[in-house]
Structure 1
């Protein structure tokens, strides 16, 4: 870390229980028990108002979590942004390259290891599973680059991919939403579901609580329940982000 050049500045905005934008220049590495050889930032958490926890990880060569992550009622999901990582659901092992992902149900632990010679970058998520009747989720893995985009809300310049099945057993899903330049949401959304989103490519302008804010690749966004939200894709390339969404459950009272 070098001395700062000029005045300290940061594009991040944090409004607890409403929304947040966390830009790369302000992120701090954390020691998280079980993770070795990792540069790891904790993003959204219950302290921010989220019902889940998101992380961004640079896993160095020989970095790993051999202790296990999740399980005991906590479901987990990992997405490989770049590089390669060996991921396991209990004893079932998968090799994930860029675009690869793994969902572990709440009765299985996730294990991660970088066996390569280069660092890899991971987006990691965990949430306490909300049981519905006697339904059970299952291990889901694949590579999102092998999934075709579909048109979002009948708009040909906005595209979406789904990571998980549309099955009532799942109380959340992961998606990639992508905007061609000039593409936008059909309206400013106000809904019960909350999101954590990591920008993968391009630039956009996001409406958060009726404030239009520029965002770009590697920014992280948190949107709480009922936080107004919508986006435009701007610039010369696809504006895309991976995001989580709780689903398939009736709010408790």
Structure 2
């Protein structure tokens, strides 16, 4: 018996640069009281950031806590040159992190052990962990950060490393495989206060109702295109676009063709709502 071939998976990677002077100014960028859309064309050289203790690195900041909007997480696309990285990547001892590699390879050394992440590789790094990261030949990855919410009597989650190809997608009920979720965190493990998943919708598949829930979302489109219904507005999105959804923002979508519509999804989970 031979193993089934693994399906081809594409991961969009921004390349920066600057649009020509002849390009029209109007684009799909949108910031509302309930959601934001950052199209891939916005990710130019002049909107990158630098961070302390990183070298040969630049950061596209897609989300950060904003009072009165989404408040639980930050999300970056990190581009490393050859030999780039950091020996002190995280300066907040209360921040947990998730890294998803989309181009090249990085080596993460965590508590004395070194792990290699190639395209489709995922790492969960607990708050307070001592780690370093390097790219021998250059790399691009997503970095999601969240202040970990500890619960008395519940231990903190352990670090882990995995690869998208090695996780069987969970098909949503009654969708005949048209809508599936690849879950990096075990949804039954309540130590985790965030979930990172990859949602895959086959061409023509649909999320058929306006989800309206307490979780905040960050959605980065890895592949394909779709049409999202966000707070009573229809928005077209494609590979390389990012959506930032406030808690309770109604959301539904259709997947366009001809390839699967796939996105990297963040949401906060498993904790009581904070009371002032």
What is the match of residue 148 of structure 1?
168
Q: What TM-score do you get using the length of structure 2 for normalisation?
A: 0.86
Q: Secondary structure at the match of 1:75?
A: strand
Report 1:161-172 matches (<5 A). Answer: 161-166=182-187, 167-172=189-194
What is the match of residue 138 of structure 1?
158
Query: Shift in Å at residue 4 of structure 1?
Result: 1.4
Structure 1 runs of 4+ with >4 Å offset: none
Q: Secondary structure at the match of 2:165?
A: helix
Deviations 1:201-240 (A, max 9, x none): 1000011111111000011111110011111111100000
Which has more strand, going by share of residues?
1
Query: Shift in Å at residue 19 of structure 1?
Result: 0.7
Q: What TM-score do you get using the length of structure 1 for normalisation?
A: 0.93
How far apart, in 2, do the equivalents of 1:137 and 1:126 lie?
A: 15
**Unaligned stretches of 5+ residues in structure 1:** none
- The correspondence for 1:13, drawn from 19, 22, 30, is 30
**Unaligned stretches of 5+ residues in structure 2:** 1-17
Deviations 1:161-202 (A, max 9, x none): 100123111111111101001111131100000111111110
What is the match of residue 76 of structure 1?
97
Query: Shift in Å at residue 127 of structure 1?
Result: 0.5
- The correspondence for 1:42, drawn from 22, 39, 61, is 61
Query: Shift in Å at residue 65 of structure 1?
Result: 1.6
Q: Secondary structure at the match of 1:206?
A: strand
What is the match of residue 226 of structure 2?
204
Number of aligned residue pairs: 250
- The correspondence for 1:174, drawn from 196, 199, 221, is 196
How far apart, in 2, do the equivalents of 1:111 and 1:85 lie?
A: 10
What is the match of residue 127 of structure 1?
146
Determine if contact 2:38/2:243 at 8 Å carries over to the other structure.
Answer: yes
Aligned Cα root-mean-square deviation (Å): 1.6
